[in-house]
Amino acid sequence: MEVLNLGMVGGGTVGSGVFHALQRNGELLAARIGIRIQVRKVAVKAVDEPRPYPIPRSLLTTDWREVVEDPNVHLVTELVGGTTVARTIVRTALRLGKPVITANKALLSAHGPELFAEARAHGTNLYYEASVCGGIPIIKALREGFVGNQIVALYGIVNGTCNYILTRMAREQADFATVLAEAQREGYAETPPDLDIDGHDAQHKTGILASLAHGFWVPPSQIHVEGIRSVTLLDLQFAAQLGYSIKLLGIVKRLDGAAPGRGRGPAIQVAVYPALIPTGHVLAGVQGVYNAVLVRGDVVGDTLFYGRGAGKDATASAVLSDLADAALDLRFGSRQRRPAFVEQTPGGRVVPMEQVVSRSFVRLSVVDRPGVLARIAAVFGQARIGIASVIQPEGHTGEVVPLIFMLHEAPDGAVCRALARIARLPVVKAPPVRFRVEPLDQDGPSNPNAGA
């Protein structure tokens, strides 16, 4: 049986997980693909650092170049993270014509076009299944499984930390700060937690999915991002009364009513934000640290991918999948079975968020006196934003009370401007809290110019 040598850069949590998985299932993998993958060398920060799974000392080095530049290494995994040294490692391997497998979504988000161009120029490939949603094979599904579909919409719960926090807040009726502190103590949230709870981790993943789904590179600067810091227990309670759950979603939607870009490429919405989704929808039932991605194709309809989105074992599973593809591509001389981002669709564009149409949930803190509702409703009316329902909950005492609005579909910019005016009213005592509503049905809003 043919043997290919693997050089690993990174032997920490993920790297040792990959090494362990290869020791455990290497023979199974070899039997299935007809190629044995053998670890030749592993570059680590420190030989004696603790790691979840042991790696023989004889395989370890602290110099990544000993791994990447070894002529007897055929495949390279980059599992160190970050966007500086990792970029140099990946570029070096690609320039040597060696396939690279990475789990580094931040690197792809920052330097994807450059790295994929480098791979093409040197007759090799860059594999990245593990960069989005850990063990869920969403990259392979978008690249291969849905090759005959236009992707109409994609909704992803792609950050396990945020989903864990929102799940516990709703289940235990606990506030955000308390749950976040406990999540950090239990190792489900980093310290500081900004990358996760401010939506940037989800931004990296959503951009990769959007680029795959629509065939043109979506830079991070074009992705609207909001995190979950503004979600309170009160919001979860009111949302539940209205039949909704709140989830942090990565959203990619084709906006068929928008003017296409040059070349008539697709006009799409790409965003990350906490949204109200119907409690009865399957995505609302995704709990804890689990991830899920709903993909809507024009031929296949709705499909759902669900599983662990992070962790050494889930990520190792995805890396092994890429190793199998890379090994087979090497054996049969295939540079790539399909381009990384379809065919670089000409003229595709991301529609500015202010033009995107959606329904909204708005919570205001207002003084408890007659005429307040009329003054606020007048602002919405002047902005041509319809009010679907109003909740003035009983049982709240004091001078300031909550007031909840469900708004009809309206352009995002119009809602933001109306809320800015409302915030300046003397009867409003705190900044308005607003979440978009995603119905997740087949007939959701698609025209960004509706109601303008």
What's the CATH number for 2-127? 3.40.50.720
Instruction: Give pLDDT, residue 341.
Output: 59
Residue type at position 175? D
How many angstroms separate the CA atoms of 270 and 211, rounded?
10
pLDDT tens by residue, 387-438: 999 998 876 667 899 999 999 999 999 999 999 999 999 999 999 999 999 9
Burial class (CB in 10 A: 0-12, 13-18, 19+), 289: buried
The confidence score (pLDDT) of residue 348 equals: 86
Q: Which residue, among 208, 216, 212, has the nearest Cα to 265 in the 3D structure?
A: 216
Q: Averaged over 124-153, what is the pLDDT?
A: 93
Determine the average pLDDT of the residues in 317-340: 86
Give the global pTM.
0.92
Residue 189 structure tokens: 């949230």
Per-residue model confidence (pLDDT) at position 393: 81
Give 175-196 pLDDT, tens digit per residue.
Answer: 999 999 999 998 888 889 999 9
As a whole number, mean pLDDT of residues 18-41 equals 97
Active-site choice (41, 98, 105, 205): 205
Per-residue pLDDT band for 134 (boundaries 50, 70, 90) equals confident
Please check whether the domain covering 353-437 is classified as CATH 3.30.70.260: yes
CATH 3.30.360.10 fits 140-309, yes or no: yes
Reported as a single tens digit per residue, the pLDDT across 194-223 is 999 999 999 999 999 999 999 889 999 999
> Does the annotation mark 429 as catalytic?
no
DSSP for 21-56 reads: HHHHHHHHHHHHHSEEEEEEEEE-S-TT---SS---
What is the predicted pLDDT for the residue at 188?
A: 84
Query: Domain ranges in the chain?
Result: 2-127, 140-309, 353-437
pLDDT, residue 403, reads: 95
Q: What is the mean pLDDT of residues 333-344?
A: 64
Q: How confident is the model at residue 442 (pLDDT cuts 50, 70, 90)?
A: low
Angle at 87 between CA 219 and CA 224, to 5 degrees: 20
